[in-house]
Structure 1
Amino acid sequence: MGLKKEQERWILPGLCVVGSLLLYVGLTFFLKGESEIVGNRLERGGYGDGSSVYEVEVDGLLEEPVDLTVEVEPRIYTEQEAERVFEEIMEGMEEKIRGKNPSLMEVREDLKLPSHWEDSGVRLLWYSENPEWISAAGKIEKTVEEPQNVQLQVHMSAGKYQAEYLIFLRLMPAIQTDEEALRSGLIKEIANREESDRSEPWMELPEIYEGRKLTYRKKEENLYAVIPILGVVMAVLLLSQEGAEQKKKEKLREKELLMDYAELVSKLMVLIGAGLTVRSAWERMVRDYESALDGKRIKRRVAYEEMRQTSFELANGIAESVAFREFGRRCGVQQYLKLSSLLEQNRRSGMKNLRAILTAEMEDAFEARKNLARTIGEEAGTKLLAPLFMMLGIVMVMIMVPAMMSMG
Structure 2
Amino acid sequence: MREKSRRGRLNEYGKEYGKYAACVLSGFALYGLSEAAGEIGDPVRDRVLVRNEYGGGDRQYELLVEGLENGKEQVEVTVPERKMSDAEVRKELPGIVEYLEGEILGKNSSLSKVQSDLNLTRTIAKYGLSVEWESEAPETVSDMGLIGSEVPESGKTVTLRAGLMNGSSVTWVEIPVTVFPEAETLGETFAVFLGKLAEKDLETGQVVLPETFDGRTLHYRSADGGGNGGLIFLGIAAALCLFLKEKSDAKEAKKQWEDRMILDYPELLLNFVVLTGAGYPVRQAWKKQVMDAESKNTVLLHPVYREMRTALNQMETGTPEIRAYGEFGRRIGLGCYIKFASLLGNSVSTGGKDLRRLLEEEMETAFRQRKELALRKGEEASTKLLIPMFLMLGVVMVMVVAPAFLSL
Which band: TM-score by shorter chain?
0.5 to 0.7
- The answer to whether structure 1 residue 272 and structure 2 residue 273 are counterparts is no
Q: How many pairs are equivalent?
A: 367
- C-alpha distance 205-261 of structure 1, shift in aligned 2 (>3 A): closer
- The answer to whether structure 1 residue 247 and structure 2 residue 254 are counterparts is no
The 8 Å contact of residues 104 and 121 in structure 2, kept in 1 or not, is answered as yes
Q: What are the equivalent positions in structure 2 for 1:152-167 lying under 5 Å apart?
A: 152=160, 154=162, 157=165, 159=167, 161=169, 167=175
Q: What are the equivalent positions in structure 2 for 1:107-126 lying under 5 Å apart?
A: 107=114, 111-118=118-125, 122-126=129-133
Deviation at 1:253, TM superposition (A): 0.5
In 2, Cα distance between equivalents of 1:44 and 1:322: 94
Code of the residue aligned with 1:103 in structure 2: it is S
Code of the residue aligned with 1:245 in structure 2: it is D
The 8 Å contact of residues 269 and 358 in structure 1, kept in 2 or not, is answered as yes
- C-alpha distance 35-325 of structure 1, shift in aligned 2 (>3 A): closer
Higher alpha-carbon deviation: 241-250 or 78-87:
78-87
For 1:36-87, what per-residue CA distance to the aligned partner results, in whole angstroms no more than 9, with x for missing partners? 78xxx9999999999xxxxx9xxxxxxxxxxxxxxx9999999999999989
Q: What are the equivalent positions in structure 2 for 1:8-407 lying under 5 Å apart?
A: 90=97, 93-98=100-105, 101-107=108-114, 111-118=118-125, 122-126=129-133, 138=145, 148-149=155-156, 151=158, 152=160, 154=162, 157=165, 159=167, 161=169, 167-171=175-179, 197=200, 201=204, 214=217, 219=222, 222=225, 233-290=237-294, 293=297, 300-311=301-312, 319-396=320-397
The 8 Å contact of residues 123 and 131 in structure 2, kept in 1 or not, is answered as yes
Q: Aligned with 1:373: secondary structure?
A: helix
- C-alpha distance 170-249 of structure 1, shift in aligned 2 (>3 A): same
The 8 Å contact of residues 83 and 129 in structure 2, kept in 1 or not, is answered as no
For 1:180-206, what per-residue CA distance to the aligned partner results, in whole angstroms no more than 9, with x for missing partners? 76x5665565566667x4678576766
For 1:85-106, what per-residue CA distance to the aligned partner results, in whole angstroms no more than 9, with x for missing partners? 9898556532443367543113
In 2, Cα distance between equivalents of 1:315 and 1:216: 75
Higher alpha-carbon deviation: 26-35 or 216-225:
26-35
Q: Aligned with 1:104: secondary structure?
A: coil
Deviation at 1:146, TM superposition (A): 5.4
Q: Aligned with 1:98: secondary structure?
A: coil
Q: Aligned with 2:131: secondary structure?
A: strand
Deviation at 1:275, TM superposition (A): 2.4
Code of the residue aligned with 1:270 in structure 2: it is V
In 2, Cα distance between equivalents of 1:340 and 1:269: 14
The 8 Å contact of residues 84 and 127 in structure 2, kept in 1 or not, is answered as no
In 2, Cα distance between equivalents of 1:259 and 1:88: 91
Higher alpha-carbon deviation: 216-225 or 327-336:
216-225
- C-alpha distance 292-164 of structure 1, shift in aligned 2 (>3 A): same
Higher alpha-carbon deviation: 272-281 or 104-113:
104-113
In 1, Cα distance between equivalents of 2:41 and 2:167: 36
The 8 Å contact of residues 84 and 128 in structure 2, kept in 1 or not, is answered as no
Deviation at 1:216, TM superposition (A): 5.4
For 1:301-353, what per-residue CA distance to the aligned partner results, in whole angstroms no more than 9, with x for missing partners? 11133334544655666653344344334433232222223223322442412
In 2, Cα distance between equivalents of 1:258 and 1:359: 16
Code of the residue aligned with 2:307 in structure 1: it is E
In 2, Cα distance between equivalents of 1:111 and 1:302: 82
- C-alpha distance 271-209 of structure 1, shift in aligned 2 (>3 A): closer
In structure 2, stretches of 5+ residues that fail to align are 1-28, 59-64, 66-78
TM-score (norm 2): 0.61
- C-alpha distance 322-135 of structure 1, shift in aligned 2 (>3 A): farther
CA RMSD across the alignment: 5.8
Deviation at 1:366, TM superposition (A): 2.3
Q: Aligned with 1:249: secondary structure?
A: helix
Deviation at 1:399, TM superposition (A): 5.1
